[in-house]
Amino acid sequence: MTDIMYREALRRALDEEMQRDPLVFIMGETIAERGGSYKVTEGLVKKYGARRVVDTPIAEASFTGMAVGAALVGCRPVVEILFIDFAMLVMDQIVNQAAKYEFISGGQGKVPMVLRTQGGAGNGLAAQHSQSLEALFYHIPGLKVVMPATPRDACGLLKAAIRDDDPVIFIEHKLLYMTQGPVPDEEYVIPLGKADIKKPGRDATIITYSYMTLKCLEAAAALENEGISVEVVDLRTLTPLDKETILASVRRTGRAMVVHEAVKRGGVGGDIAAMLMEEAYDDLDGPVVRVAGKNTPVPYNVRIEQACVPSVEDIVEGVLRML
Amino acid sequence: MAHPPVADRSSRPADASPGIPEPILLGMYRNIYATRRFELTCIEFYRQGLIRGYLHPYLGEEAVAAGACAALRPQDYIASTHRGHGHCISKGADLRLMMAEITGKATGYCKGRGGSMHISSKQLNHLGANGIVGGGIPIATGAGMGIKVRQTDQVVIAFFSDGASNNGVFAESLNLAGIYQLPVIYMLENNHYAVSTPIECATGCCDLAGRGPAFGVPGICVDGNDAREVYRETLQAVARARRGEGPTLIEASTYRHGGHHVNDPGLYMDPQTLAAWKARDPLALMRRTLGDEAKARAIEEQVEAELEAAVTFATESPEPSVVEFLAGIPD
């Protein structure tokens, strides 16, 4: 194991997959010489050349559509959309084209592409650069949605996403790029659709993903000091959803809380809560709790920005409310 | 007249197709005729309730697909539109599988899941018709990028309309193809209407081919009702693309013989203009220039037999199984 940064873990995944498969190529804005805004693709153009590390103009809809086309003719493109907010420009190509192709072609064609992007608040980037929009993609049949929280998961899941034959929306969090964590030295792949119990516990289950996993672990540590044992399930992949792990954990603890940064209304948490009502009602000792972002655009000012997203205190309070 | 047809250059003597080998000419005629008859059959089926949803006939525009696809090799790709039957037929589709798809049968190209607006064929390297105007343009551009990454000498034709040329992805994609010198031919079928909106109401500059040079892409205007002209220009564009010299924009000027879809009577179309275009019917024009009645007849008989077989096949084919369909849906 070696400690590396989240962004280095992503770079390692891209590097290993490009090395392994000459049909993997990457496209995006300022990803070549500049190495990307978050330095994920640094150095790759030197190693693989401009044919496979492609700088694009600011034309998200079309270069994302190009990934669909390139995937259809046998390549495995990875496109980078600088902010998930900008992914709103590519919805036709993702929702109407990539997600539908295998289905409407009667299974003749697959779209093995990855759309890498990042979201989340925390850097004072205001309403058009801070959103958590995973629910939009989660809602669409035909897409897979991956949201890793740690360097180890980021590398292993990105490799799996590139090897997957379906379109994968791979959502990073801007506050995670500089976080560090241990990563195996040997090559490894983490299968999509497997949640990870980041901390075992007895009294309650927290279901979360992406950056909120870190906050939930902090909250769980604080609660541990009070003698409350919380299990933290990091979903890692939203689609396919690892219902088995969620249900098994909730059946053990009898209490469930879903935590995400995205606004509560219409969020993934509501869907998971409903699923628990349908499939684990008899195992629950109380209502499922949601701790999520406020139903508002993300503001610029740091104090009100912080007030929009769940804090460690919010999570602790949520757990105490359940018990 | 708002949309005068391209000046008729077809009345030249029979040798007015210099350099085009006879099998190509006959092949183009076959595809024009097959498309015409296929569309008329579909309209009939639609009226009988055997086809549901939308049906956008390619009547009047058949020469564009026939001429363009004649310049391709089987391994080349096309991306098509909601008005896509002609592209599919000219790419070599089996009329039986097409008819089965359009009538929603399990034996169709897409197992009855796609219908008229979504026909695709992996075997034909037909990337698919598209229900979104302009939706296929970036996909075709990406197929060009994929070809470049894989380093083969294939090319792609993106079929789209004057309507799509006013969508943002047209400009983006043309620009992208220009940057990376992609082997893509942008075949702009200017039928002068986006649904019911005439092109002069949809842009301040009706010189659509002229948009190519703005992105460093050659732009050429051809008579879209003359398959020979479409073929010749496409052939040159294909040759450039195979040599690695990048994309071409071809504006093929043509006209629908009716409304936007089968239920649109097209009352907004000026009858005089429509009559002038119909007088330059691509089917009649191509038949005249063949100059060989016996060969034309033989083709027509062959197509009629194929079409009859397609209708029988589609009629006798089973519907998709609901149980099987539901079983395939993940949790």
Which entry of A17, A129, A173, A260 is annotated as an active-site residue? Answer: A129
Q: What is the pLDDT of residues A267-292, one digit of tens each?
A: 999 999 999 999 999 999 999 999 99
Asked whether B75 and B156 are in contact (CB, 8 A), the reply is no
Which residues constitute the domain of residue B130?
Answer: 24-261+271-313
ipTM score here? 0.92
Provide the pLDDT confidence category of residue A322 given band limits of 50, 70 and 90.
very high
Percent with pLDDT over 70 in chain A: 100
Tokens standing for A55? 């700088």
Distance of CA B44 to the CA centre of its chain: 21
Q: Specify if A69 maps to a domain.
A: yes
Contact at CB, A54 and B180, closer than 8 angstroms: yes
Task: Identify the pLDDT of residue B330.
Answer: 83
Instruction: For residue A143, report the phi and psi dihedrals to the nearest 5 degrees.
Output: -110, 150
- The CATH number linked to B215 is 3.40.50.970
State the average pLDDT over residues A42-59. Answer: 97
Residue A166 and residue A247 in one domain? no
Please confirm, yes or no, whether A260 is among the known catalytic residues. Answer: no
Q: Specify if A190 maps to a domain.
A: no
Residue A81 and residue A213 in one domain? no
Residues on chain B touching A106 (C-beta within 8 angstroms): 108-114
Burial of B330 from C-beta contacts in 10 A (0-12 / 13-18 / 19+): exposed
Q: How many structural domains does chain A have?
A: 2
Provide the pLDDT confidence category of residue A20 given band limits of 50, 70 and 90.
very high
Residues on chain A touching B179 (C-beta within 8 angstroms): 57
Q: Specify if A121 maps to a domain.
A: yes
Contact at CB, B110 and A105, closer than 8 angstroms: yes
Instruction: Give how far Cα A249 sits from Cα of A203, A305, A314, B171, Å.
Output: 10, 33, 22, 51
Tokens standing for A119? 């979201």
Q: Specify if B150 maps to a domain.
A: yes
Asked whether B148 and B180 are in contact (CB, 8 A), the reply is yes
- The CATH number linked to A120 is 3.40.50.970
Domain boundary among A143, A159, A183: A183
- Residues with Cβ within 8 Å of A94's Cβ and at least 6 positions away in sequence, in order, are A64, A87, A115, A137, A140, A143, A167, A169
Residue A66 and residue A92 in one domain? yes
Residue A174 and residue A211 in one domain? no
Instruction: Give how far Cα B216 sits from Cα of B125, B141, B171, Å.
Output: 28, 16, 12
Residues B232 and B222: their CA atoms lie apart, in Å, by 10
Task: Identify the pLDDT of residue A220.
Answer: 98
Q: What is the pLDDT of residues A99-146, one digit of tens each?
A: 999 999 999 999 999 999 999 999 999 999 999 999 999 999 999 999
Tokens standing for B297? 């007849």
Residues A213 and A154: their CA atoms lie apart, in Å, by 13
**A55 beta partners:** A28
Q: Specify if A280 maps to a domain.
A: yes
Which residues constitute the domain of residue A232?
Answer: 196-322
Q: Specify if B136 maps to a domain.
A: yes
Task: Identify the pLDDT of residue B15.
Answer: 45
Q: Are strands B184-190 and A114-119 parallel, antiparallel or unpaired?
A: unpaired
Asked whether B282 and B39 are in contact (CB, 8 A), the reply is no
Q: How many structural domains does chain B have?
A: 1
Q: Specify if B121 maps to a domain.
A: yes
Question: Angle, to 10 degrees, between the axis of helix B62-69 and the axis of helix B282-290?
Answer: 50
Q: Specify if A46 maps to a domain.
A: yes
Place of tokens 């079309």: A62
- Residues with Cβ within 8 Å of B254's Cβ and at least 6 positions away in sequence, in order, are B60, B61, B63, B64, B189, B190, B191, B224, B225, B277, B282
Q: How many residues does chain B have?
A: 331
- The CATH number linked to A226 is 3.40.50.920
Which entry of A16, A17, A29, A60 is annotated as an active-site residue? Answer: A60
Task: Identify the pLDDT of residue B4.
Answer: 84
Residue A212 and residue A122 in one domain? no
Residue A106 and residue A208 in one domain? no
What are the percentages of helix, strand and coil residues in chain B, rounded to 5?
45, 10, 45
Please confirm, yes or no, whether A60 is among the known catalytic residues. Answer: yes
Q: What is the pLDDT of residues A206-264, one digit of tens each?
A: 999 999 999 999 999 999 999 999 999 999 999 999 999 999 999 999 999 999 999 99
Q: Specify if B321 maps to a domain.
A: no
Tokens standing for B221? 């205007």
Residue A164 and residue A274 in one domain? no
Residue A202 and residue A151 in one domain? no
Selected residue of B97, B145, B179, B319 to mutate for chain A interface (largest A Cβ count, 10 A): B145
Residue A51 and residue A133 in one domain? yes
Q: Specify if A191 maps to a domain.
A: no
Asked whether B24 and B230 are in contact (CB, 8 A), the reply is no
Q: Specify if A224 maps to a domain.
A: yes
- Residues with Cβ within 8 Å of A71's Cβ and at least 6 positions away in sequence, in order, are A77, A98, A110, A111, A112, A113, A167, B142, B146
Tell me the count of A-B CB pairs closer than 8 A: 141
The letter for the amino acid at A131 is Q
Residue A80 and residue A202 in one domain? no
Residue A218 and residue A142 in one domain? no
Residue A158 and residue A235 in one domain? no
Tokens standing for B236? 């040159």
Q: Is the pTM of this model over 0.90?
A: yes
Residues on chain B touching A92 (C-beta within 8 angstroms): 132, 135
Sign of the Cα pseudo-torsion (B261, B265, B268, B270, in order): positive
Q: Specify if B18 maps to a domain.
A: no
Task: Identify the pLDDT of residue B9.
Answer: 58
User: How do the pLDDT tens digits run along chain B, 331 residues long?
Assistant: 678 887 665 554 444 567 899 999 999 999 999 999 999 999 999 999 999 999 999 999 999 999 999 999 999 999 999 999 999 999 999 999 999 999 999 999 999 999 999 999 999 999 999 999 999 999 999 999 999 999 999 999 999 999 999 999 999 999 999 999 999 999 999 999 999 999 999 999 999 999 999 999 999 999 999 999 999 999 999 999 999 999 999 999 999 999 999 999 999 999 999 999 999 999 999 999 998 999 999 999 999 999 999 999 999 999 999 999 999 898 7
